[in-house]
């Protein structure tokens, strides 16, 4: 019994030492780096992020976290240091922020089109319009209901530009302001049998559950470009490196290849990647 007691006394300090080592190793576990994104709802509602996120996390060991907001809100979050990267589709708005923050990194990523969509019976006879200006004018002239994003997003910005281009203003009684993202705005327009402006990718992702059809598409006034914007001002060098790695993967590596193939299962790609060799460092740059 005495021998056993002495053995226990000798083992007890070793046991305590083991506890310290185990607890110490737990407290020093390295967490995976996290890159926080501010995504326009048009990008987020398309389903593309659900493809990009697991692919990047697998190859990098980093985690991607996202906030789904309008482009304007996403740029504000980047300015406040709340996100590391923004994916936006509001070139004029982006230009103002880039001018105010020349230290930000800016690259064009991809593009598709905006679509003017409306009810199948097309009460404003928009389908026969030769120009987008005429299409918008007919909506106003017929007092047809129109659902506006009303949220300072990229889509809302383009919507206002189109009405300015057409020289018309919606009447209050025909205007419904959703103040919400793209998918909810489309659902509201479908329920109200109204017209609205949408990005092509979100409409493609949702068209089976909507009672809407494209009534006008095509032309440079409906070109929809997406950009990747990041800040280099994070005081943590490791965080800056993680951000640079993600942007490089997205614009020039595996992310680019995934964007190319996204939507092909339905017959038409949802986005076109920015052409190699085309200028891409300024908000006003175009893919062709």
Q: Give the tens place of pLDDT for each residue, 131-140.
A: 999 999 999 9
Residues 251 and 174 placed together within one structural domain of the fold: no
Residues 77 and 139 placed together within one structural domain of the fold: no
* pLDDT value, residue 106: 98
1 occurs within a structural domain: no
Residues 95 and 73 placed together within one structural domain of the fold: yes
Residues 57 and 176 placed together within one structural domain of the fold: no
The contacts of residue 199 (CB under 8 Å, 6+ apart) are 42, 46, 89, 112, 113, 114, 115, 155, 182, 224
Question: CATH number of the domain that 51 lies in?
Answer: 3.40.190.10
* pLDDT value, residue 29: 59
Query: How sure is the predictor about 192, in pLDDT bands with cuts at 50, 70 and 90?
Result: very high
The contacts of residue 269 (CB under 8 Å, 6+ apart) are 260, 261, 262, 263
Residues 136 and 70 placed together within one structural domain of the fold: no
- The mean pLDDT of 175-188, rounded to a whole number, is 96
179 occurs within a structural domain: yes
* pLDDT value, residue 13: 43
Q: Which of 219, 236, 261 is a domain's end point?
A: 219
Query: How sure is the predictor about 261, in pLDDT bands with cuts at 50, 70 and 90?
Result: very high
25 or 200: which carries more pLDDT confidence?
200
The 10s digit of each residue's pLDDT in 50-85 is 999 999 999 999 999 999 999 999 999 999 999 999
* Domain hosting residue 130, numbered range: 114-219
Q: Which of 219, 236, 255 is a domain's end point?
A: 219
- The mean pLDDT of 262-272, rounded to a whole number, is 88
* pLDDT value, residue 31: 81
Residue 242: count of CB within 10 angstroms of its CB: 22
Q: Which of 219, 235, 261 is a domain's end point?
A: 219
**pLDDT(225) > 60:** yes
282 occurs within a structural domain: no
283 occurs within a structural domain: no
Structural contact between residues 227 and 284, judged by C-beta atoms closer than 8 angstroms = no
**pLDDT(99) > 50:** yes
* Summary mean pLDDT of the chain: 90
**pLDDT(9) > 70:** no
Residues 68 and 103 placed together within one structural domain of the fold: yes
What DSSP character marks residue 166?
Answer: H
pLDDT exceeding 90 applies to what percent of the chain? 83
**pLDDT(209) > 90:** yes
Residues 104 and 140 placed together within one structural domain of the fold: no
10 occurs within a structural domain: no
* pLDDT value, residue 19: 37
* pLDDT value, residue 265: 79
30 occurs within a structural domain: no
For the chain, the first-to-last Cα distance in angstroms comes to 89
How many structural domains are present in the chain? 2
28 occurs within a structural domain: no
119 occurs within a structural domain: yes
The 10s digit of each residue's pLDDT in 124-167 is 999 999 999 999 999 999 999 999 999 999 999 999 999 999 99
Q: Give the lowest-confidence range in 110-124, 228-242, 267-281.
A: 228-242
Residues 62 and 147 placed together within one structural domain of the fold: no
Query: How sure is the predictor about 238, in pLDDT bands with cuts at 50, 70 and 90?
Result: confident
The contacts of residue 109 (CB under 8 Å, 6+ apart) are 87, 226, 227, 228, 250, 251, 259, 273, 274
């Amino acid at each position: 019994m005495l021998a056993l007691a002495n053995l226990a006394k000798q083992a007890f300090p070793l046991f305590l030492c083991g506890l310290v080592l185990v607890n110490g190793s737990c407290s020093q576990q390295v967490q995976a780096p996290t890159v926080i994104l501010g995504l326009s709802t048009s990008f987020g509602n398309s389903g593309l992020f659900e493809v990009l996120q697991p692919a990047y996390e697998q190859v990098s060991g980093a985690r991607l976290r996202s906030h789904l907001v309008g482009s304007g809100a996403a740029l504000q979050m980047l300015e406040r240091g709340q996100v590391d990267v923004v994916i936006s589709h509001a070139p004029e708005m982006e230009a103002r922020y880039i001018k105010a923050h020349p230290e930000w990194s800016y690259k064009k990523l991809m593009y598709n089109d905006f679509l003017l969509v409306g009810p199948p019976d097309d009460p404003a006879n928009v389908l026969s319009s030769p120009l987008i200006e005429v299409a918008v004018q007919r909506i106003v002239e017929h007092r047809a209901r129109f659902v506006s994003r009303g949220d300072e997003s990229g889509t809302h910005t383009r919507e206002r530009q189109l009405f300015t281009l057409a020289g018309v203003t919606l009447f209050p009684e025909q205007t419904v302001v959703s103040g919400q993202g793209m998918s909810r705005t489309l659902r509201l327009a479908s329920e109200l049998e109204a017209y609205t402006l949408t990005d092509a990718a979100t409409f493609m992702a949702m068209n089976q559950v909507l009672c809407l059809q494209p009534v006008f598409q095509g032309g440079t006034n409906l070109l929809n470009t997406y950009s990747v914007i990041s800040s280099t001002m994070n005081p943590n060098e490791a965080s800056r490196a993680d951000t640079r790695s993600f942007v490089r993967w997205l614009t020039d590596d595996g992310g680019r290849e995934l964007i190319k193939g996204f939507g092909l299962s339905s017959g038409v790609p949802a986005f076109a990647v920015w052409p190699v060799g085309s200028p891409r460092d300024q908000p006003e740059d175009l893919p062709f």
